[in-house]
Chains A and B, each alone.
Chain A
Amino acid sequence: MKHLKTALFFTLTFLTTAVFAEDISVVSPESVGLSSPRLENISTLIRSHVAEKKIAGAVVLVARHGKIAYFEPFGEADIGKPMQKDTMFRIASMTKPLVTVAILQLYEEGKLLLSDPVAKYIPEFARPKVLEMLPPGSNPTFRLVPAKREITVKDLLRHTAGLPYNFAADWYPKNRLYRQMYELYQDAGISSGLYETAGTIGEMVKRLARLPLARQPGEVFEYGMAADVQGYLVEVVSGMKLDDYLRERLFKPLKMNDTYFFMPVSEKPRLSALWKTNWHGKLDKVSDGLHQEGAYTYSPSYQYAGTKTFLSGGVGVTSTAYDYFRFCQMLLNKGELEGVRILSRKTVELMTETNHIGALNATTLHDDGWKFGLGVAIEADRAHNVDSGSVGTFEWAGIFSTRFSVDPKEQKITLFLSQTHPFNYHFELWDKLLVLSSSSIAD
């Protein structure tokens, strides 16, 4: 009986893989102007990282002219379990562009304007105050000044609403402002969404709205909680729960069949484990449940444990390389995929081709010289430290080491999905991958 069960399990696994492999055709790199030997450099790079136990595994996908030319799994998804092409990943902040598209759909339907004050839909945001630190030793330690203006929907989409993440206190340990914001967030129960969180996003966003902003609206690129506000905004404006909205309006039309907020229990075996690395050969699987490291709290189980009621528009989604490729391809096609239109060409241009932060720089993840559209960073010139190979490339990433890059000029998509903590080590790997991907162009 036991043998029968095992045989059945392997047969089913094989069939599932077979069906998946059959559905997704990978073309010869040369047929889309890419070089096979040069793409092989990506394999060498990732294999060396796996061999050196910097990461446990990854899936890398490179597509050009709408066709996948490179799609490789590396290493392990879990202990003793090889990475598969259809392994599922906590894509974390790669959720943000999905929610941005949802907001832009509502914008296209005339249900909101990007210039609208957020308080029009979430009244708790009305008359915001801005936190200003007073000299050390002062009591109180800060003062609150009225914001010069209300925050707008566009401020949320371009991260100029003054809503940092709590763990910015770790990123900038000497900055007392971030420490104070962290303390306010802790007190108010503001969740980054990266761990099991009770309650709803609406409850949390209303509390967040009553806290002061860290910056005057529009004045600083401040990456953080804005996408969670966007997620709740989708709920308020559409009248649908965020997961229902995304499933019906984005995932189903794009056939992103393996993309979820809270994955079904049956799919859990496909989810990669999360690993903690020291980048020097020590690699440990992170156990389920809450982990606190400084101001940063995370949990590998947040997408299948807990109350499953908190739909984080910032980090809540799990997906696969193929599904996210389909989302990227839709954007690359200016809003359409396989005859299904998600956004108009004009709106995709507004999202991915327009600098919305003026002279500011989108320094989170990137470097000076990267600008920000709506929900994505855009390479404005090539004279800086992170180069995708083309001006106009747009991209974003997730804190568990996932990343995507779309190069409209070369019609190329690069996706890297891993599940490794902490994120910081991966800048080097990603920067190299971008170089290898762009230098594989051979036409």
Chain B
Amino acid sequence: MKPAKNLPYPFLSLRNIGQLLVALCLFWSDGSYATAPRIAPQMFGEERKADIIAYEIAPLVTTNQTDGGLAIAILSAAFNASGQKLIIDIVPAKPLAKYALLNNDVVAMIGESQDISAKEKNQFLAEAFYLKIGRHFYFKPNWKSAFPWQSSLTDLKGLRYGGLSGTEQLTYKAAGIQTQEGDVRGLFEKLRNQELDFIGVPDLVAEFWINKAYPKEQQEFVSVNGIAWEQPLYIFFAKTNPRSQELYKAFVTGLDKIIKNGKYQEALEKVYGRQQLPADFISRLQRYRANTR
């Protein structure tokens, strides 16, 4: 600011003093916006804090179904049976769910046994509540003669098997089968492109993926009779969370209730249909539940 004309420095005119006051007012005013901020958090509604976190395993755990998929429907039913209404958030990637659990952002996480390391195991209370039923699939156009499966993995000696990352491969290797790991998309694509002879994928996951990615070739992906493997889904409660004991007990009690009153079976049949559902599904699940305690 220049000194006003005809006044010896440091004297200021009234006009200059006014300008200075306005400038000071602006300097000390709160915030740097000429108006309100254009983007405020309130524009997007209230943020809901989740109690439980899960990662997407379509169609078992998915944001694309209103009930969150079969596994989430069972989980919710179990909590509801104990009078607990919880917020379950489904994130698109496993590391984000694990992060929320380790960071104590949530009470519990839904996942598989390999999601928790041996070192971390003591930090969580685990309860199995669903079984992924693995089945073998081959691609019919790649087989001029019949697929050589009869009853045992040794029938498939010398073939190339693809399993989901982190799933068991040793029994295949022991039977003389070459093994590869991958994700669902990669396994199906390699199967179709003759880079693999057969793959092992959970039945509902396979059905979902075939319908989505190969709608015109659904009949060409053939499921081999019999269960290839099974893998439980767990809910892991963080012991350090003050609500974990209460919610763990509520969940176990609720799960017992829905198994007993037939609601669990109903939920399964709604998705599977009676034909494909293994008759002993619940007794298989109970074995895992007993083992985790």
Instruction: Check if B11 is an interface residue, CB within 8 A of chain A.
Output: no
Check B99–A127 contact: CB distance below 8 A: no
Check B193–A198 contact: CB distance below 8 A: no
Instruction: Check if A289 is an interface residue, CB within 8 A of chain B.
Output: yes
Instruction: Check if A189 is an interface residue, CB within 8 A of chain B.
Output: yes
Q: Mark B102-146, 1 if CB is under 8 A from A, else 0.
A: 110000000000000000100000000000000000000000000
- CA–CA, A186 and B56, complex, Å: 12
Q: Chain A contact residues (Cβ within 8 angstroms of B): what range?
A: 35 or more
Check A123–B44 contact: CB distance below 8 A: yes
- CA–CA, A123 and B186, complex, Å: 30
Check A207–B44 contact: CB distance below 8 A: no
* Shortest beta-carbon distance from B245 to chain A in Å: 24
Instruction: Check if B157 is an interface residue, CB within 8 A of chain A.
Output: no
Instruction: Check if A109 is an interface residue, CB within 8 A of chain B.
Output: no
Q: Mark A267-302, 1 if CB is under 8 A from B, else 0.
A: 000000000000000000000011010000000000
Which of B92, B102, B120 is within 8 Å of A207, CB to CB? Answer: B92
From 178 to 201 in chain A, residues with beta carbon under 8 angstroms from any chain B beta carbon are 180, 183-189, 198-199
Instruction: Check if A316 is an interface residue, CB within 8 A of chain B.
Output: no
Check A186–B183 contact: CB distance below 8 A: yes
Q: Which A residues are CB-close (under 8 A) to B39? A: 117, 149-150, 152
Q: Which B residues are CB-close (under 8 A) to A212? A: 96
Q: Which A residues are CB-close (under 8 A) to B43? A: 117, 119-120
Q: Mark B25-48, 1 if CB is under 8 A from A, else 0.
A: 000000000000011010111010
* Shortest beta-carbon distance from B220 to chain A in Å: 15
Check A188–B193 contact: CB distance below 8 A: no
Q: Which A residues are CB-close (under 8 A) to B263? A: none
- CA–CA, A189 and B64, complex, Å: 14
Check A184–B95 contact: CB distance below 8 A: yes
- CA–CA, A38 and B231, complex, Å: 68
Residue of A nearest to B209 (CB): A198
Residue of A nearest to B100 (CB): A144
Check A187–B93 contact: CB distance below 8 A: yes
Q: Which B residues are CB-close (under 8 A) to A115? A: 38
* Shortest beta-carbon distance from B209 to chain A in Å: 8
Q: Which B residues are CB-close (under 8 A) to A184? A: 93, 95-96
From 102 to 159 in chain A, residues with beta carbon under 8 angstroms from any chain B beta carbon are 115, 117, 119-120, 123, 126-127, 139-144, 149-150, 152
Q: Which A residues are CB-close (under 8 A) to B81? A: none
Check B44–A199 contact: CB distance below 8 A: no
Q: Which B residues are CB-close (under 8 A) to A141? A: 95
Instruction: Check if A345 is an interface residue, CB within 8 A of chain B.
Output: no
* Shortest beta-carbon distance from A233 to chain B in Å: 16
Task: Tell me whether A142 and B94 are in contact in the complex, defined as CB-CB below 8 angstroms, given that A117-B43, A127-B41, A199-B212 are known contacts.
Answer: no
Instruction: Check if A210 is an interface residue, CB within 8 A of chain B.
Output: yes
Which of B63, B98, B190, B193 is within 8 Å of A140, CB to CB? Answer: B98
Which of B38, B47, B92, B213 is within 8 Å of A198, CB to CB? Answer: B213
Residue of B nearest to A306 (CB): B213
- CA–CA, A140 and B102, complex, Å: 7
Q: Which A residues are CB-close (under 8 A) to B209? A: 198
Q: Which B residues are CB-close (under 8 A) to A48? A: none
Residue of B nearest to A140 (CB): B99
Q: Which A residues are CB-close (under 8 A) to B45? A: 126
Residue of A nearest to B212 (CB): A198
Instruction: Check if B185 is an interface residue, CB within 8 A of chain A.
Output: yes
Q: Mark B179-207, 1 if CB is under 8 A from A, else 0.
A: 00001011001100100000000000000
Check A211–B96 contact: CB distance below 8 A: yes
Check A203–B55 contact: CB distance below 8 A: no
Residue of A nearest to B89 (CB): A210
- CA–CA, A178 and B102, complex, Å: 22
Instruction: Check if A31 is an interface residue, CB within 8 A of chain B.
Output: no
From 58 to 113 in chain B, residues with beta carbon under 8 angstroms from any chain A beta carbon are 63-64, 91-96, 98-99, 102-103
- CA–CA, A12 and B267, complex, Å: 61
Q: Which B residues are CB-close (under 8 A) to A203? A: 64
Check B92–A119 contact: CB distance below 8 A: no
Task: Tell me whether A187 and B55 are in contact in the complex, defined as CB-CB below 8 angstroms, given that A117-B39, A123-B44, A211-B96 are known contacts.
Answer: yes
Check A189–B185 contact: CB distance below 8 A: yes
* Shortest beta-carbon distance from A168 to chain B in Å: 17
Check A211–B92 contact: CB distance below 8 A: yes
Residue of A nearest to B98 (CB): A140
- CA–CA, A31 and B103, complex, Å: 69
Instruction: Check if A307 is an interface residue, CB within 8 A of chain B.
Output: yes
Q: Which A residues are CB-close (under 8 A) to B98? A: 140
- CA–CA, A180 and B193, complex, Å: 29
Q: Which A residues are CB-close (under 8 A) to B185? A: 189, 198
Check B212–A211 contact: CB distance below 8 A: no
Check B95–A187 contact: CB distance below 8 A: yes
Which of B55, B56, B102 is within 8 Å of A139, CB to CB? Answer: B102
Instruction: Check if B215 is an interface residue, CB within 8 A of chain A.
Output: yes
Check A183–B41 contact: CB distance below 8 A: no
Q: Which A residues are CB-close (under 8 A) to B215? A: 307
Check A210–B91 contact: CB distance below 8 A: yes
Which of B95, B102, B120, B190 is within 8 Å of A183, CB to CB? Answer: B95
* Shortest beta-carbon distance from A352 to chain B in Å: 26
Interface residues, chain B, CB within 8 Å of chain A?
38-39, 41, 43-45, 47, 55-56, 63-64, 91-96, 98-99, 102-103, 120, 183, 185-186, 189-190, 193, 209, 212-215
Contacts A119-B43, A144-B96, A152-B39 supplied; 13 other A-B pairs, CB < 8 Å: A115-B38, A117-B43, A119-B44, A127-B44, A144-B99, A149-B39, A184-B95, A198-B212, A198-B213, A207-B56, A210-B91, A307-B213, A307-B214
7 tightest Cβ-Cβ pairs between the two chains A and B: A188-B92, A126-B44, A187-B93, A198-B213, A207-B92, A188-B93, A184-B93
8 A-B contacts (beta carbon < 8 Å): A139-B102, A140-B102, A149-B39, A183-B93, A186-B183, A187-B55, A188-B93, A210-B91
Interface residues, chain A, CB within 8 Å of chain B?
115, 117, 119-120, 123, 126-127, 139-144, 149-150, 152, 180, 183-189, 198-199, 203, 206-208, 210-212, 289-290, 292, 306-307
